[in-house]
Amino acid sequence: MKLPSKVGLFMSSQIKEKIEAELAKTSGLSIISLVHDLIVYANASRSSDIHMDPTENFLRVRVRIDGELQHAFSFPKKIHSEIISRIKILSGLRTDEHQAAQDGRFRLNIDNKPPIDLRVSIAPTYYGENAVLRLLAERAENYTLESLGFSNKNQEKILKAIKKTCGMILATGPTGSGKTTTLYTILKMLNTPEISIITIEDPIEYSVEGVEQIQVNPRTGLTFAQGLRSILRQDPNVIMVGEIRDHETAGIAVNVALTGHLLLSTLHTNDPATTLPRLLDMKIESYLVASTVNLVIGQRLVRKICEKCRTAKEITPAQEQSLAEFLPPKISQAKKIIYFGKGCKDCNFSGFFGRVSLHEVLVVNEKIKEAILRKATSSEINSIARSFGTASMLEDGLEKAFSGITTIEEVLRVSYE
């Protein structure tokens, strides 16, 4: 659960002062307290990640807030190795290994507050080992399709798809676009005593009560493909595979979906229409793709306008002319007001507070299946989807922008990245 904005900002400024006071000590600096306070600071400031990057003269510490990295601290170079060692100890990693990448996780308990789950990645660099800590403070059960930003129409498509007992539901988009969070939210909706759900993930991002979760471990031969084979002997109804990375995993996933299981997974493609030819590239027969894929969700994350300083303004003639390039004339002529954040204490004068997803939800209907069977291009599949009223991510984003949720600049930034 994220802290309320005023409380969070007040706490983060207090903790930042505490960290700076600790760093200013000439002796008696506590590495344990420093790492603890840094994580608490990142959580209070709504950070999703902490980046510790060694340079020649100091350890640069940055935090990612609402998708953007911001400088936080410069730690002395002399405590660099001690900081990394402390993180390794917390994560259960080898402290004597300095030339290989290591991944781990740990939980930080804070007095009278929800615990913070962290995922850790450490890698050797030119100036020593770096560390990236992903904060998983939000629990999966806190999300709903509505809170993730799905429109009513897209929610209806997903609700219809998850009622099917077999087939595939795929979430697509670049790294860090919220695909896994979307799948966890769907799992939560499916998670009832009558249904057996098993996941295989790398890594397990959220612990979900009532769901059997398996961690990929290549050292023991437990890959996505091998794990999928094992899962089938566990008599599941629903299976989630963290990611379809290769043709072997794709082939097994398709066969699983064909044999009476509902399978959820992610794929790295730019949009839903590209996902279908991508599966063909993974050497999956077109008739199998057409038979198994039920729904494809494409998404991106954009920053939300701070509600405390959100301001409306009329569209200028120049903006109206540029918007006409992206919107049908009847829409661009009807929308005359846009929104932005002026900046205030609550959003640290950025004008943004939090993030929301933009979506495109593609239902694989008979026309789409026919296109897959004849190995149509993604452009042709896109055209068919539009003819059935499927809204693109750009259209979904602009609707959110005109509703005051985000800015047009944010929508265009992620739509053409």
Name the percent of the chain lying above pLDDT 70: 94
Q: What does the pLDDT read at residue 221?
A: 87
Residue 206 has pLDDT above 90, yes or no: no
The radius of gyration computed from the CA coordinates of the chain, to the nearest angstrom, equals 23
- β pairing state of 116-125 and 128-135: antiparallel
Give the residue-averaged pLDDT of 210-232: 90
Q: What is the pLDDT confidence band of residue 10, given thresholds at 50, 70 and 90?
A: low
Residue 2 has pLDDT above 50, yes or no: no
Residue 239 has pLDDT above 80, yes or no: yes
Give the residue-averaged pLDDT of 13-38: 90
Closest CA to 274 of 395, 174, 397: 174
Q: What does the pLDDT read at residue 9?
A: 58
Residues 73-122: tens digit of each pLDDT: 999 999 999 999 999 999 999 999 999 999 998 999 887 777 888 999 99
Q: What does the pLDDT read at residue 142?
A: 75
Residue 328 has pLDDT above 70, yes or no: no
Q: Distance between alpha carbon 58 and the CA centroid of its chain, in Å?
A: 30
Q: What is the pLDDT confidence band of residue 175, given thresholds at 50, 70 and 90?
A: confident
Residue 228 has pLDDT above 70, yes or no: yes
Residues 247-301: tens digit of each pLDDT: 999 999 999 999 899 999 999 999 999 999 999 999 999 999 999 999 999 999 9
pTM: 0.87
Q: What is the pLDDT confidence band of residue 363, given thresholds at 50, 70 and 90?
A: very high
Cα–Cα dist 129/85, whole Å: 10
Residue 1 has pLDDT above 50, yes or no: no
Q: What does the pLDDT read at residue 5?
A: 45
Cα–Cα dist 43/41, whole Å: 5
Query: What backbone phi and psi angles, to 5 degrees, belong to 407?
Result: -105, 160
Residues 52-64: tens digit of each pLDDT: 999 999 999 999 9
Output helix, strand, coil percentages for the chain, rounded to the nearest 5: 40, 25, 35
Strand partners, 105: 119
Q: What average pLDDT does the chain have?
A: 90
DSSP per position, 53-71: EE-SSEEEEEEEETTEEEE
Q: What is the pLDDT confidence band of residue 417, given thresholds at 50, 70 and 90?
A: low
- 383 or 8, which is more confident? 383
> What would the two tokens of residue 373 be?
């069977």
Q: What is the pLDDT confidence band of residue 198, given thresholds at 50, 70 and 90?
A: very high
Q: What does the pLDDT read at residue 323?
A: 72
